[in-house]
Amino acid sequence: MTKEFIASEMKALQSRICKRLEEIDGVSKFIEDDWIREEGGGGTTKIIRKGDLIEKGGVAFSAVHGPVSEIMKKQLGLEGNEFFATGVSIVLHPNNPHVPIIHMNVRYFELNDGTFWFGGGIDLTPHYVIPEQAKLFHQGLKSICDKYHSDFYSKFKNWADDYFYIPHRNETRGIGGIFYDHQTAESGLSKEQLLKFALDLGDNFASLYDQQAELGRHKEITPQQIEWRNLRRGRYVEFNLVNDRGTKFGLLSGGRTESILMSLPANASWEYNLKLEEESDEQKTLNNLRKGIEWI
């Protein structure tokens, strides 16, 4: 299975996901930006704005290659001479505070010494955590994982709890999901199966989000809920700019800034030392932003 084949599968996945998301949104269409990377490769960034469901979102494909740079050696611990990387990344910020923010990434990496690995994940960031809805999301992920390996869900769920965590806030970003990295043939799956797993996650992404969106997008909203949504977006910005290894690596290594930062919301808010009512929905949400909750 060549890297070109994997890249073409990723590109096709991006198209399928965007088509489904446009159907789900019902109003807005993706605009498309092709870009070329000077050192080798390029990508297509698709952006949706001011939809009925999605206020701002992006679905990015890239396939890049070139010499392993000093920063890649240092930050990723790589030792080859040439790398190739391809994948699809998504972040969607909805209008309605009762609909969660969602993120997905599936990626493939190889070095010219023949080593390769897959990574990826899907995680959900509700502005208001509702345990029954979190359960539905995790059940959906588990049923995909279980098709490939009986250990995947619990292993990758814990990995997501650890990865999507904001130490300086002592909060998880949301209710987690799954996260995995460096999956090689030693994972128990062949290269073909690992690609199939990634594509399966991608092809279920829009339905998983639609399920969550339907439960919230028609709910009435108050100005206070919008304020809270914007404060939670502030935390999302903090995670992405301070903690997310992918974002930091992308910015430091001279990636395409606009494609990397398409993950940021249309707007975000900050308030000094916000205090919440103990029994409020907002405080209940904070109480659920911690590692180790078994949602299923």
Q: Which is nearer to a copy of itself, 97 or 177 (by Cβ)?
A: 97
Shortest Å, Cβ 42 to a copy of itself: 15
Q: How far is the CB of 69 from a copy of itself (least distance, A)?
A: 15
User: Following DSSP, what letter does each residue of 217-233 receive, concatenated?
Assistant: TTS---HHHHHHHHHHH
Of 84-92, 134-142, 201-209, 236-244, which part binds a copy of itself (CB under 8 A)?
A: 236-244
Site string for a copy of itself, 20-59 (x = CB under 8 A): -------------x-----------x-x-x------x-x-
Q: How far apart are CA 119 and CA 292, in angstroms?
A: 22
Do 290 and 172 meet the contact criterion of CB atoms below 8 Å apart?
A: yes
CB-based contact 24:213 (threshold 8 Å): yes
CA 20, 21, 25, 26 dihedral sign is negative
Which position among 248, 281, 284, 293 is part of the footprint of a copy of itself (CB under 8 A)?
A: 248
Q: Report the run of H or E that residue 137 belongs to, with start and end.
A: helix 131-146
Site for a copy of itself (CB under 8 A): which residue of 130, 237, 285, 288? Answer: 237
Q: Which is nearer to a copy of itself, 6 or 92 (CB)?
A: 92
Beta carbon nearer to a copy of itself, 105 or 259 = 259
CB closer to a copy of itself, 168 vs 223: 168
Alpha-carbon gap, residue 177 to 91, rounded angstroms: 14
Q: Which stretch binds a copy of itself (CB under 8 A): 80-88, 108-116, 216-224, 256-264?
A: 256-264
238 lines the binding site for a copy of itself (CB under 8 A): yes
Which residue among 103, 138, 149, 168 is the active-site one? 103
Structure token digits, residue 58: 């992006």
- Contact in structure between 20 and 127 (CB atoms under 8 Å): no
* Nearest to 54, CA basis, from 94, 87, 105: 94
Q: Which residue has the tokens 């539905």?
A: 136
Q: Does the annotation count 182 as an active-site position?
A: no
Residues in 168-187 that interact with a copy of itself by CB under 8 A: 168-169
Nearer to a copy of itself among residue 203 and residue 227 (C-beta): 227
273 binding a copy of itself? (CB under 8 A) = yes
Q: 240: Cβ–Cβ under 8 A, 6 or more apart, which residues?
A: 247, 261, 263, 264
Question: d(Cα 236, Cα 173) in Å, to the nearest integer?
Answer: 7
- Could you tell me which stretch among 129-137, 166-174, 179-187, 192-200 binds a copy of itself (CB under 8 A)? 166-174
Check residue 276 for interaction with a copy of itself (CB under 8 A).
no
d(CA 47, CA 196): 26
Q: Which residues bind a copy of itself (CB under 8 A)?
A: 33, 45, 47, 49, 56, 58, 167-169, 230, 234, 237-238, 241-242, 248, 251, 257-258, 260-262, 264-273
**Catalytic residue numbers?**
103
